[in-house]
Amino acid sequence: MKYCRYITGLLVLTMASMAGCATTLNVDVEQTFPEVVAEPRDLSATLVMDQEFRTYQAQPNAKTRIQIGQPQVDLMTKAFSGLFAEVMVVSSREQVRPGTDLVIIPSVREVQLSTPSESYLNVYEVWIKYNLDIETGDGVPVDSWFLPAYGKTPSSYLLSRTTAIEDATIVALRDAGAKLMLDFYRIPAINGWLQQQAALQAES
Amino acid sequence: MTYRTLTALVGALALAGCASTTTVDDYRPTSEPIDIEPGEKVAILGRRDAGHYETDTDFVECLADRMGQSDFQIMSEQEFIDALYPWFEPRTAPKHLKRLQRLMQEPVLQEKIREENLRYLVWLDGEVESHGATGAMSCGMGPTGAGCFGYTSWDKEAVFEAIVWDLVDLTEEARIQVDSEGTSYVIGIVAPIPLLTRVESQACSGLGKQLRSYFSHEGR
């Protein structure tokens, strides 16, 4: 009887430890970003961020899920407000009002994660790859722009896995905002479109 | 007697272990104190653009604490990068004065600097490295107890450079390099006794003292 109890206890312990090993880590990134310091151009844009983008859950590997929906919506809204004088945020392409200069549809291509156990570095790294489909208000495609962003923790020393992944993701999101502000008007197709608009305005 | 000798030996080693040599080299175009009005702020920012290392956030905070003991205000690193987002992120931050001058041509940035009452930026770059590990120590456990025996030591070096930029006049005001070296020991006499050198703290103290003296009104 005594042995039976002992074996049952051992079985329970083994099952509990196995269940522990199979746990998926859910990292919920909750972050708001600062307003960007920039002089927006006198143009209007509509940001189409659908439900999938708003609740986006990245799964960089089988054991990790990162919720980046809310912070990426906040970041995109603020970054584009620094690029365009007027920014509207809608949930679908059908909601775009006529008269808007550009329609921008962001989507996440991929999220990658590197942990110290994989890289043998004392840091956690996160890569977020965005795609921005840019169209004119009339629906004419302008460009499909690839926007990569990178973030890492200064050091993973004394950080929990969840905190480290969250910190690296926040740095990557901030980097996405920085790249957007730096390069958006340098995209050749956008630059060409701007010149075309300027020429049309001069004609009229 | 033996006990006293041993205590004296450990004490002497501890003192030697704790000791570090700190050298502060600075370059300034003038010996006049740096102009700072009451209420104006100094921001301290660590470089994050190098691939293989990052300026330690704790070191930046330590320096901010040291400089915060002055009569001017210190703006924390996070506060600064948030206030000027996204122009001081690792991807966008100006690495040279010329880039800063170009960046500050943006009226909206000039306005923000004025609004925040920011006057100087201290760019901090550096790291702490450990090298030259010698000695050996072994730890064991038996039925009667556990213990460590042996001796190991390693050298630590903290090298940091601080560059002071005037965000209004867009000039470089000072450049300081601090180099702090020391040796850490661990002596195993049953229990391991760590005698660690605090080079980072020494470098922070030396740099903070030097920077504070530049902004000091007392020297006028």
Spatial distance between the Cα atoms of B131 and B154, rounded to a whole number of angstroms: 6
Q: Per-residue confidence at B143, pLDDT binned at 50, 70, 90?
A: confident
pLDDT at B219: 42
Percent of chain B with pLDDT over 70: 88
DSSP state of B88: T
Most confident of A53-57, A198-202, B129-133: A53-57
Place of tokens 């312990």: A13
Which chain B residue shows the shortest CA-CA distance from A33?
Answer: B82
Whether residue A112 has pLDDT greater than 90: yes
Tell me the average pLDDT of chain B: 86
The whole-number average pLDDT for the span A118-125 is 87
Q: Provide CATH code, domain B21-29+38-128+158-179+199-215.
A: 3.40.50
Q: Per-residue confidence at A39, pLDDT binned at 50, 70, 90?
A: very high
Whether residue A3 has pLDDT greater than 70: no
Q: Provide CATH code, domain A24-203.
A: 3.30.160.150
Q: How do residues A172-196 score in pLDDT, each as one tens digit?
A: 999 999 999 999 999 999 999 999 9
pLDDT at A200: 87
CB–CB contact B85 A154 (8 Å): no
Q: How do residues B33-74 score in pLDDT, each as one tens digit?
A: 888 888 899 999 998 876 677 788 889 999 999 888 777 899
B114: closest CA of chain A, how far (Å): 13
Residue B86 is nearest to which of A36, A39, A155, comparing CB atoms?
A36
CB–CB contact B92 A38 (8 Å): no
Domain boundaries, chain A: 24-203
Whether residue A49 has pLDDT greater than 90: yes
CB–CB contact B85 A182 (8 Å): no
Q: Is there a contact between B170 and B97 (Cβ–Cβ < 8 Å)?
A: yes
A18: closest CA of chain B, how far (Å): 30
B82: closest CA of chain A, how far (Å): 6
**What is the C-alpha end-to-end distance of chain A, expressed in Å?**
96
Residue A37 is nearest to which of B54, B85, B90, comparing CB atoms?
B85
List strands edge to edge, sheet with A64-67: A25-28, A64-67, A57-61
CB–CB contact A177 B84 (8 Å): no
Q: Which residue has the higher pLDDT, A10 or A138?
A: A138
